[in-house]
């Protein structure tokens, strides 16, 4: 006889996570590798004595970071959310933390129930290397034409086939996604005597969902436009007239990518 608890006896939770991806081989559990999913599963087992299955709002790449990743799990024993969060944080390593634990509706699925996701990509226009930002931003040489990047970014907004920018998480799945906004902000960095002013550009994309590699390809293409290595019309054509085969777009490195926020319907408590 199975000792699995009936579905209506389980207690579902939504866990909002923040993690520094520098020391992880991405989100998804992999044998012999340190991953965020594997680390969280071990912490849940240590605290609750239960082996659970996790759902995640998205699968971040090796080296990418998260500020609002959401994972769903169901436990046989009901926990006060605050106590569950504190207990997990007591055993989790320093580079991952549960910032919120909340009861979730029955059948909660962190990916399927999400209605929007927000990613940010940080680019530094800087000649010399950075000791502080080396794990959290992509350093490029030369000034970025922010006006050109903003003009072409507007062409990405709307519902388009983004096959040129990534692949579906499911074999044969749709590559059509709805991008709600693409915003670029320039942040001034500390000025030093004798060194030209330098800045960081934050690229933020909000969409209903992302293809694998989509955000890094968008960031890489926008930076190529900003550096004058790609024409804005070329990038815009990739969503207006998607090519039959995925082109060799520049892909931004993972360490500048920050998963920022996941949005759910009001019926899902976070």
Backbone φ and ψ for 79, nearest 5 degrees, come out as: -120, 145
From residue 28, alpha-carbon distances to 33, 88, 117 in Å are 10, 19, 18
Q: Are 17 and 98 in contact (CB under 8 A)?
A: yes
Other Cβ atoms within 10 Å of 57 Cβ, number: 28
CA distance 230 to 221: 7
CA distance 164 to 244: 9
Other Cβ atoms within 10 Å of 122 Cβ, number: 22
Alpha helices in 30-145 (DSSP H): 36-48, 81-91
Backbone φ and ψ for 202, nearest 5 degrees, come out as: -105, 120
Known catalytic residues are 61
Grouping H, G, I as helix, E, B as strand and the rest as coil, residue 50 is: coil
């Amino acid at each position: 006889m199975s000792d699995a608890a009936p579905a209506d006896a389980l207690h579902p939770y939504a866990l909002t996570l923040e993690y520094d991806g520098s020391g992880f081989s991405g989100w998804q559990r992999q044998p012999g590798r340190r991953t965020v999913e594997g680390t969280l599963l071990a912490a849940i087992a240590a605290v609750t004595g239960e082996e659970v299955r996790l759902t995640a709002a998205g699968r971040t790449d090796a080296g990418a970071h998260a500020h609002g990743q959401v994972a769903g799990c169901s436990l046989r024993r009901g926990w006060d959310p605050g106590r569950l969060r504190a207990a997990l944080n007591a055993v989790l390593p320093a580079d991952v933390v549960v910032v919120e634990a909340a009861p979730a509706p029955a059948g909660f699925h962190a990916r399927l129930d999400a209605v929007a996701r927000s990613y940010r990509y940080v680019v530094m226009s800087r000649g010399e290397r950075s000791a502080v930002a080396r794990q959290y931003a992509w350093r490029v040489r030369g000034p970025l034409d922010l006006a050109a990047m903003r003009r072409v970014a507007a062409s990405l907004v709307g519902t388009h086939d983004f096959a040129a920018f990534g692949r579906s998480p499911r074999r044969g799945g749709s590559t059509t996604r709805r991008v709600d906004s693409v915003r670029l902000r320039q942040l001034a960095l500390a000025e030093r005597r004798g060194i030209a002013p330098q800045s960081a550009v934050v690229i933020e994309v909000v969409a209903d969902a992302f293809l694998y590699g989509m955000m890094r390809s968008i960031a890489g293409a926008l930076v190529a436009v900003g550096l004058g290595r790609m024409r804005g019309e070329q990038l815009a054509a990739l969503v207006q007239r998607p090519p039959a085969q995925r082109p060799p777009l520049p892909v931004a490195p993972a360490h500048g990518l920050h998963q920022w926020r996941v949005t759910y319907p009001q019926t899902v408590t976070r």
